[in-house]
Amino acid sequence: MKDFEVFGNKSQGYNFVESLKSGRSLFSFVISYTETCEIPGITLAGADIDSIKFTPPADAEYLHYGYCKTIDKIPMTPDGKPTPGLLTKTALESASIPHLTINAGSKIPPKLPFIDTGMSSGKNISVSDAMTDSQVSHAVDYGRIIGRSLASLTDCLIIGESIPGGTTTALAVLRALGYDARVSSSIPKNPIELKNKVAASALERIDSDHPYSIIAKVGDPMIPFVAGMLSSASGVSRVMLAGGTQMAAVLAFASKIGFNEENTVIGTSCYIIDDSSANFVGLIKEIADIAAISVNPKLEDSEFPGLRAYSEGFVKEGVGAGGCMISSMAKTGYNSAKFLEMAEKEYSRLFDSN
C-alpha cells in the first residue's frame, strides 16, 4: 500500500481502497469549457491559445480511440508535455475499467458517442457572469439524472473532468463559499497572482450568498453538473471524485445541495497533495469528513522527460488521472513500478506514431 496515502477520514479511505479490489468501477469523463481559459497565461492545457478549446474533446477521443480525431496529435503543453490522459488511459486499460464521456458544455463536441446534456460553455468570469441561474439549475438537474443512472450500473463511479482554466473558477467558487483556498495548476510557476486577480474581480460581482447564484456569477458549468452527479450517485453507489482543486470546488458546492459523505472520496495524484502552495488536504477536511486518497506513480523514475515533468510540477493532475490510477492499481494489484512500465509503453507508442 506504499503507493497510496490516505488523508482526512482515514478509515473510510482504507475501506474504499479495499472495496475497489473486488467491485466494478466505471469512469465518467466530464468535458466542459469556461472562456476564463482564454485569459493569456492562465492555463497550459493546449499547445496555444486557439487550440485550448480542442483539449477536452481531444482528451476524450484519445482515451477512447488511442488517438485524437479533433486534432492531429494528443493534447500537450506548448513545449510538448503530454496530457495526463496518458496516465488515465494506462490506468483504465490495464484494469479493464469501462468509461463514458459526458459533454457538459464543451465548446467542441468530441468525435465519439457521448452523453449529451444540452449545456452551454461558461463565460469568462473576469468580465461577466459565468452562467444564468437557470443554467446552473439545469446543470444540477441533469447531473443528478446522469449520476443516478451511472451509479446504478457500477459499484464505484469515478468522475474526472477536463475544463481548461477550471482552477481559476474553482478558486473563485471556493473563496465565495467561504474557504481559504489556494490553487494548484498545470504550470509549475503557478500564475497565482493572475488567478487571484481574476477571482477577486469576479467575487466583486457577487450580491447573494445563495450557492446557485455564486456558481452562476463566478463558477463554470462543470462544477454544478458534477456536484449534481455526486449528489444522486453517492446515494446509490460509492463515488470517487478524481481530481484536484476543481473537485474541491465541486465538493464545496455539493455540500450545499447535499450528498452522502460515507460513500464519497477524493482521489488524486501526490503532485497535488505535495503542492505546498495549495494545502489541498486541509481544504478537503474543512469542506467534508471524507478521505482524500493520493497515489504516487513515481514518475520521477521514468526514462522519459515528458513523464518526469509531472513529478516536477507540470500538469500534476487532470482527466481523472489520479483517481483512475488508484482504482486501477487497487484492482490489478500492480505497484507503481509496474504501472510506470505500462505508462512508458504507452508514451513510446504515442511518440513513435506521432
| Cα–Cα distance measured from residue 164 to residue 31, given in angstroms and rounded to the nearest whole number | 9
C-alpha cell at 258: 447535499
Region of 15-23, 103-111, 313-321, 339-347 interacting with a copy of itself (CB under 8 A)? 103-111
- The binding track of 13-32 with respect to a copy of itself, each residue x by CB under 8 A or -, is -----------x-x------
Which of residues 51 and 149 has its CB atom nearest to a copy of itself in the complex? Answer: 149
98 interacts with a copy of itself by CB under 8 A: yes
Nearer to a copy of itself, 116 or 180 (CB): 116
Which of 49, 73, 93, 145 touches a copy of itself by CB under 8 A? 145
Under rule CB under 8 A, residue 40 binds a copy of itself: no
Using CB under 8 A as the binding rule, whether residue 134 contacts a copy of itself is answered as no
Pairing of strands 25-31, 99-103: parallel
Q: Which of 5, 38, 67, 112 touches a copy of itself (CB under 8 A)?
A: 112
Element (H, E) at 25: strand 25-31
Among 28, 58, 64, 322, binds a copy of itself (CB under 8 A): 64
CA dist 296 → 6, 75, 112, 299 (Å): 12, 23, 31, 8
Q: Where are the alpha helices (DSSP H) in 34-101?
A: 55-65, 85-94
Nearest distance, CB of residue 52 and a copy of itself, angstroms = 23
Considering only 109, 256, 281, 351, the residue that binds a copy of itself (CB under 8 A) is 109
* Segment 287 to 316, residues that bind a copy of itself, using CB under 8 A: none
Exposed/middle/buried for residue 205 (C-beta within 10 Å: 0-12, 13-18, 19+): middle
Alpha carbon distance 19, 300 (integer Å): 29
- Helix (H/G/I), strand (E/B), else coil: 242: strand
Helices 245-257 and 222-233, packing angle to 10 deg: 60
Only segment of 31-39, 152-160, 216-224, 245-253 that touches a copy of itself (CB under 8 A): 152-160
Note whether 27 and 155 are within 8 A (CB): no
d(CA 144, CA 141): 5
Please say which residue, 114 or 259, places its beta carbon nearer to a copy of itself: 114
Grid cell digits, residue 108? 467542441
Nearer to a copy of itself by Cβ, of 26 and 71: the residue is: 26
Q: Angle, to 10 degrees, between the axis of helix 166-176 and the axis of helix 245-257?
A: 40
* DSSP letter (8 states) at residue 122: B
114 near a copy of itself, judged by CB under 8 A = yes
Query: CB-wise, 57 or 244, nearer to a copy of itself?
Result: 57
Among residues 34, 36, 43, 117, the one that binds a copy of itself under rule CB under 8 A: 117
Smallest distance from the beta carbon of 75 to a copy of itself, in angstroms?
21
The least distance separating a copy of itself from the CB of residue 6, rounded to whole angstroms, comes to 28
149 in contact with a copy of itself (CB under 8 A): yes
Phi, psi (5° rounding) for residue 184?
Answer: -105, 175
What is the binding site for a copy of itself (CB under 8 A)? 24, 26, 64, 96, 98-100, 103, 109, 111-118, 142, 145-146, 149, 152-154
